[in-house]
Amino acid sequence: MSNHDDAYRQLGELLNAAGLAEQALFLNWGFQPADGPALSAGDAQRQLLLQLIGDRPVNGRHILDVGCGRGGAAALIAEKWRPLSVTGVDLSSSNINFCRQRHRQPRLRFQLADACQLPQPDSSVDMVINIESSGAYPDLAAFYHQVWRVLKPGGDFFYCDIFARQTRDDVATALSHLGFIAINGWSIRQQVLAARRSTGEKVIERLQNARQPQHTEQDLAGLRNYFALPGTPIYQALERGEADYYCFHWQKPATELPLQPLPPALLSALSQRSQRLDQAVNGGNNAVFPLGKPQPDAALNLFALPYAGGGASIYRDWGSDGDWPEEWRFCAMQLAGRENRIDEPPQRRMESLVAELAQQIEPFSYRPWALLGCSLGCKVAFELARHFSRLNRPPRLLFLMACPAPDIAPARRISTSSDDEFCAEIRRLGGTPDSVLLDKEMMQTAGKALRADCALAEHYQAASNVRLAVPALLVLAEDDALVPVAAMLRWQQHLTASTTIKRVSGGHFFLRQQRASLQQWLVQALQQPPAPAPLSPGRWLPFGLPQTGAGMPLFCFHHAGGNAASWRQWLAPAKALGMQLCPLELPGRASRFTEHPRSDLSALLAELSAVLTPLCQQPYGLLGHSLGALLAFELAQRLPAATLQGIFVSGRRPPHHPTPPPLRHLMNDSELAQQLLGLEGTPTDVLQHQELLALFLPALRADFTLTEGYRWQQAERIRRLPLQAFCGDSDAEVSVATMNQWLAYGDGNSRLHCYPGGHFYLQQHRDALLLAMAGWLNLHQQCAPG
């Protein structure tokens, strides 16, 4: 008997004892409308199913409820509609036995089955429903494959559950990659929380009163968390927004297509679902943060990294005295292979360690945070800061102590030395007690982490031209025999933001003697208001800022993988028509090649809004092709509406139309290069030159991430836009019919302009397009109020 089945049997016993067996036919968390009267527990749970299905037709269809629990959802469907059949499947024999005895409606049956190995024939089901059970599945990808297999072409997949934020996005990407069409996706977190507040506690009270001797307080505590009642970790995670209760409606294409395999990176991300949810629920892994966990509502979380071989305990007394603000959290990170994680294998490569630690920090990187490192920990902190800077969520401060600059490799390699040679070198370096060095058994245990850290340092060396725009405070000791002053000062060539230098005495391990001063400097540095990021509109507008009297500014956005120069030949003809074209250059290409390309759409839009808002106080227009059309559309929601005269979109699916698979941003370099061979827009000399291609692909991959990961939020779109759409009549990427759907976002005067050509038809029809845009802008100005 599985633990899964035991848990449901125990729940059934408690429900029977409390007289709730008949009322508790649903095991979901319920849906309480914000503007309606308080619902009973059962009505709230019925409402959740009704909200999920909405107005989708059910009559005359074959329905499969995967993870049917006690059968409430399947029975409600059979009662409310006229389906041809409703089948409930569940892995718990207790649940299936209960369902077979309780629910005896015609057209309703129940099967004992594994969601990852469904017994239904191929293409036999019109609708699959899955409510709050996928978290128990060992292989989400296998479950999605089964849903695809059993659904008929055109069939619907309704799916809701609690997800960590990142997993929710991974699930959407995976289903899209497999070939499903996204119909809708929406959060009901607030309505679920309301249902938990109003109904859940009453159930627990009755269970408490009916408890039998074999049911302990621990059992009831587990049930409280199972029902996500107020005060439980899972309820608090939902309340904080660390976790989301999300509904999906996907559809299998009407035309039968082969199932697309998921790439290894996405399979790995799906396998981390439970770990990520546990992290969201518990506010971080206790093993990783043994001295104090980060808090999502803290004014600031500081993550501290130890020196080579050290554990979190070296920071035991930090963040606890009167100098440390109460609203901040000092979070010493425990690396694998030491102290409470002594049995875990330590990391030996920087990229692996950074990936592991970034996963722990990620939920807290949306609010102010900082990094502290000592010795080797400084290089780990530097790479973590680079990782989050690429995501546009950099730390507020790097506090770095006693470490050579990241481009300086260790002078000696000792990670593979014999035990005697290794111990002799560690003794020379200092910092490890003789009581440990002389005890072979202790060295065999503690020395594993130290050897791994040595290997980590030996295999890591940043390029001398790597730059990081994060404020830093460097602490060095004049008498440090291991890290010369010059090696520490060389950090300055890697740090382009403000950098402060402090000097202490005490040798390489001054951390122990100078804690009070170090913490005081740390607090002072963090209390300084963050320097505002330089607006530097010139970086974004390489052909110059708009000039007064030179024509109406038309801000132009290039296609995926392109750059501002693609509009160069448009500048003079546009000027002759009274328009001032202002092409924007995104990071990672042409004049901004040394910057990291952006793959976070919301962060990129925030940057663009900050640059353009001051320039859009007078009449202006927006023009974009492909990726640029998406940016123009989103910016039209953010920039001043009163002065927007026209938005011109070209060669891009409309906002509600998700990118169909295969998703290019998930391909490896060789697969992506192969895709480019069949597309226009990439010069042949780039595709045939491996070194040029390697320089070009990061920006292109980031651009595909922006477009393919885009999810339209209908509730936020309130503006009807002065929009005109343009397309090529033989565009293999975006059809004329698809482009025509853009007109739904227009203000009533919108139209589609179609020209001969494929996806990159623009250049051959430049003058005609400019005439059409100039004519529209003139018409719009004439019709504008006042």
**Looking at residue 339, what is its pLDDT?**
83
Crossing angle of helices 669-677 and 690-708, in 10° steps, is: 90
Question: Dihedrals φ, ψ of 650, to 5°?
Answer: -150, 140
Calpha distance 288→774 (Å, rounded): 60
Calpha distance 332→310 (Å, rounded): 11
Cα angle for residues 604, 610, 614 (degrees, 5° grid): 145
Query: Which range in 164-168, 207-211, 676-680, 716-720 is most confidently predicted, on average pLDDT?
Result: 164-168
Residue ranges of the alpha helices (H) in 25-109?
41-53, 72-80, 93-102
- To which H or E segment does residue 625 belong? strand 620-625
Instruction: Pick the closest to residue 462 from 403, 516, 531 (CA basis).
Output: 403
Calpha distance 519→516 (Å, rounded): 5
Mean per-residue pLDDT for 548-574?
A: 91
**Looking at residue 701, what is its pLDDT?**
80
Amino acid at 335: L
Q: Which of 230-234, 274-278, 311-315, 687-691 has the lowest mean pLDDT?
A: 687-691
Calpha distance 594→466 (Å, rounded): 9
**Looking at residue 560, what is its pLDDT?**
86
Mean per-residue pLDDT for 296-306?
A: 90
- To which H or E segment does residue 424 belong? helix 419-429
Does pLDDT of 227 surpass 80?
A: no
Does pLDDT of 3 surpass 80?
A: no
Name 377's bridge partners: none
pLDDT tens-digit readout, 99-117: 999 998 889 999 999 999 9
Query: Which range in 237-241, 259-263, 609-613 is most confidently predicted, on average pLDDT?
Result: 609-613
State the DSSP string of 443-508: HHHHHHHHHHHHHHHHT----TT--B---EEEEEETT-SSS-HHHHHGGGGTB-S-EEEEEE-SST
Mean of pLDDT over the chain: 83
167 exposed, middle or buried (CB, 10 Å; 0-12, 13-18, 19+)? Answer: buried
- To which H or E segment does residue 170 belong? helix 165-178
Mean per-residue pLDDT for 486-504?
A: 92
User: Per residue in 727-738, is it b (16+ CB within 10 Å) or e — as a string?
Assistant: bbeebebbeeee
pLDDT band at residue 508 using 50, 70 and 90 as cut-offs: confident
Task: List CB contacts of 148: < 8 A, sequence separation 6 or more.
Answer: 178, 179, 180, 252, 259
Preceding omega of 662 cis (within 30 degrees of 0): yes
- Determine which one of 626, 650, 670, 735 is catalytic: 626
The sheet that has 85-90: what strands, in order across it? Answer: 108-112, 85-90, 62-66, 125-131, 151-164, 243-251, 181-187
Calpha distance 633→613 (Å, rounded): 15
Task: List CB contacts of 604: < 8 A, sequence separation 6 or more.
Answer: 392, 586, 598, 631, 706
The sheet that has 398-401: what strands, in order across it? Answer: 328-332, 300-305, 369-374, 398-401, 472-477, 499-504
Mean per-residue pLDDT for 598-614?
A: 86
Name 87's bridge partners: 64, 109
pLDDT tens-digit readout, 156-205: 999 999 998 888 988 999 999 999 999 999 999 999 999 888 765 555 55
pLDDT band at residue 714 using 50, 70 and 90 as cut-offs: low
Would you say 173 and 13 are in contact if contact means Cβ atoms under 8 Å apart?
A: no
Cα angle for residues 594, 364, 710 (degrees, 5° grid): 60
Query: Which range in 203-207, 306-310, 401-405 is most confidently predicted, on average pLDDT?
Result: 401-405
Mean per-residue pLDDT for 631-656?
A: 93
**Looking at residue 783, what is its pLDDT?**
46
Which structure tokens are listed for 715? Answer: 């509730």
Name 90's bridge partners: 112
**Looking at residue 100, what is its pLDDT?**
94
Name 725's bridge partners: 649, 752
pLDDT band at residue 430 using 50, 70 and 90 as cut-offs: low
Calpha distance 691→711 (Å, rounded): 34
Instruction: Pick the closest to residue 93 from 117, 74, 112, 109 (CA basis).
Output: 112
- To which H or E segment does residue 131 belong? strand 125-131
Query: Which range in 251-265, 318-332, 639-653, 767-781 is most confidently predicted, on average pLDDT?
Result: 639-653
Mean per-residue pLDDT for 502-524?
A: 89
Calpha distance 342→447 (Å, rounded): 11
pLDDT band at residue 784 using 50, 70 and 90 as cut-offs: very low
Mean per-residue pLDDT for 139-144?
A: 93
**Looking at residue 511, what is its pLDDT?**
86
pLDDT tens-digit readout, 338-397: 887 887 888 889 988 998 898 889 878 878 999 999 999 999 999 999 999 887 789 999
Q: What are the helix and strand counts (H, E) for the chain?
A: 28, 19
pLDDT band at residue 2 using 50, 70 and 90 as cut-offs: very low
Question: Dihedrals φ, ψ of 18, to 5°?
Answer: -90, 0
Pick 610 or 160 by higher pLDDT.
Answer: 160
CA distances from 680 to 160, 198, 551, 677, 691 (A): 40, 57, 32, 8, 20
Does pLDDT of 703 surpass 80?
A: yes
Calpha distance 423→296 (Å, rounded): 42
The SS3 of residue 408 is coil
Q: What is the pTM of this model?
A: 0.43
Active site residue 375: no
| Pairing assessment for the beta strands 181-187 and 108-112 based on DSSP bridges | unpaired
DSSP category for residue 80: H
SS3 for 505-525, per residue? CCCCCCCCCCHHHHHHHHHHH
Calpha distance 150→381 (Å, rounded): 48
**Looking at residue 715, what is its pLDDT?**
43
Pick 467 or 433 by higher pLDDT.
Answer: 467
Calpha distance 136→123 (Å, rounded): 25
Long-range CB contact pairs, 730-737, < 8 A, 24+: 730/756, 730/757, 730/758, 731/651, 731/757, 731/758, 731/759, 731/761, 732/758, 732/759, 733/626, 733/651, 733/679, 733/759, 734/651, 734/652, 734/653, 734/759
- To which H or E segment does residue 704 belong? helix 690-708
Would you say 172 and 144 are in contact if contact means Cβ atoms under 8 Å apart?
A: no
SS3 for 553-587, per residue? EEEEECCCCCCHHHHHHHHHHHHHCCEEEEECCCC
Question: Dihedrals φ, ψ of 694, to 5°?
Answer: -65, -30
State the DSSP string of 174-235: HHHHHTPEEEEEEE-HHHHHHHIIIIIHHHHHHHHHT--TTS-HHHHHHHHHHTT-TTSHHH
Does pLDDT of 268 surpass 70?
A: yes
Amino acid at 25: L
Percent of the chain with pLDDT over 90: 44
